[in-house]
A and B are shown apart, each in its own frame.
Chain A
Amino acid sequence: MKNKALGIFAAGISLLVVAAPLPAHHGSAGYDLDKELTMKGTVTQWLWANPHCFLKYDTTDDKGVVVHWAAEVSNPIDMTRRGWARTTLNVGDQVTVTVRPAKNGAPVGQLMKVVLPDGKELIGWTPLVR
């Protein structure tokens, strides 16, 4: 797994330009809001559901160790407005995912951005939601 920490400032400025805040009634307190990780992964499940949609994907590090990640975005209605769909992601897709990770080190996070196999980028959560 090749993790690349990104400064929230640099990433945030570009996202702020295009993104409005999304609601979250589950809050953000468990996530490290000052950190972002970008990683390549393989989609194992994309749940298009309330209260929040979430993406499950696997990453593999240099030693072949597989980590099962899960990253959440908002609900289907909000995500539809932002260009996402039930069919956006499919099992087996190779994607690049940027998350704000859990503070406790668990492999879960807020999905900030995904780059799809065709190179298209979709914004998930935004830096404004803290």
Chain B
Amino acid sequence: MLRQRTNPILAGVALLALSVGMCAQTSPPKKPIAPKTQQAAPAPRRDLSGIWDAENTMEGISPRGVASHAPFTKWGEDLANNVYKPGDGPRRVSVGLVNDPLDGCDPAGFPRNLLFELRPFQVVQTPKQVLMMYQYQRVWRVIWTDGRELPKDPDPRWYGYSVGKWEDDYTFVVQTVGMDERTWLDNAGDPHSGEMRVEERYHRVNRDTVELTVKIDDPKAYTEPWIAREKFRLKLMPATTDIAEMICAPSEAEEYKKTMADPLSK
């Protein structure tokens, strides 16, 4: 009863809000009128600033690993089948046998932070850099936009070396090299080599939406380049979003191992 009475009132309030400057309704409508679909505002030019999150947050986390990948080379296959022992995906093993570097709180590294646990992150643009600051493990990347070249023979880094440029007013393209070979690509223990080159394309569809495509080019581990994420939709979060702290502390991980993983492996 109460519900029937309040619906027209709520609808009236919504209508009033939507019709500033229009004539007032003399009486509330009998049925709620769905507001017209509002089109998102156009994208600003050459701007990714803001806090972004996966449109479907569960897809951002991707516990099973990438949906598919190019065939392994012999080198890649050996790592995947004989060395890496993941807790998820088609080659998963029992908890006590998992050797996922994340379990000991090693850095997720790049691009695993895009392929697994892509949680809210903030983009800050400066005249010479685009900074991407991630909730997961509370790390940031620097993407240089000052025109510099990628390093030729860099010392490996967990998050590599990145340069970016605007391909057009709404598409920012990042190239990254020099990733540390110890990191995995995803939860399923898909490997990569130090020769890997990663291309990220951030296409801003409108003010509220970015589509992210990630391409892996690693001839040592895969027989051909492949797309790890394709037009993965990111939504703009309110500017007041407080990005939570999500840090793997080795002492806590050790407690988890002692309490949960060790009994499982006996």
Contacts and interface: CB of A to CB of B under 8 A. Distances in A.
B60 to A, nearest CB: 9
A36 interface: no
A129 B93 CA distance: 15
Given A24-B88, A52-B260, A30 B95 contact: yes
A88 B266 CA distance: 31
Contacts of A51: 102-103, 248, 252-253, 256
Interface string A16-29: 00001101111111
B58 A30 contact: no
Interface string B51-87: 0000000100111000000000000000000000011
Q: Dominant SS at the A interface?
A: loop
A27 B94 CA distance: 7
A54 B253 CA distance: 11
B249 A29 contact: no
A26 B58 contact: no
Given A50-B252, A108-B260, 19 more contacts: A21-B63, A23-B61, A23-B63, A23-B117, A25-B63, A25-B103, A25-B117, A26-B261, A27-B94, A29-B93, A47-B255, A49-B252, A50-B248, A51-B253, A51-B256, A52-B256, A54-B256, A75-B246, A104-B264
A129 B94 CA distance: 15
Task: Give chain A's interface residue range (CB within 8 Å of chain B).
Answer: 20 to 34
Contacts of B256: 47, 49, 51-52, 54, 72
A49 to B, nearest CB: 4
Given A26-B87, A29-B94, A77-B119, A72 B252 contact: no
A29 B85 CA distance: 12
Interface in A10-53: 20-21, 23-31, 47, 49-52
B247 A50 contact: yes
B248 A29 contact: no
B92 A70 contact: no
24 contacts: A23-B117, A24-B63, A24-B88, A25-B63, A25-B100, A26-B103, A27-B92, A27-B95, A29-B95, A30-B265, A31-B264, A47-B252, A50-B246, A54-B260, A56-B259, A70-B259, A77-B119, A77-B244, A106-B263, A106-B266, A107-B263, A108-B259, A108-B263, A108-B264
B88 A27 contact: yes
Contacts of A107: 263
A45 to B, nearest CB: 9
Interface string B89-108: 00011111010101100000
Contacts, number: 98
B80 to A, nearest CB: 16
Nearest to B57: A81
Q: Which 8 A-B pairs have the closest CB atoms?
A: A27-B87, A30-B264, A106-B263, A23-B63, A49-B252, A30-B95, A23-B61, A30-B94
B110 interface: no
Contacts of B63: 21, 23-25, 129
Contacts of B119: 77
A31 B58 CA distance: 22
Given A54-B260, A77-B244, A108-B260, A25 B253 contact: no
B146 to A, nearest CB: 35
A70 B260 CA distance: 7
A97 to B, nearest CB: 15
Contacts of A20: 58
A115 interface: no
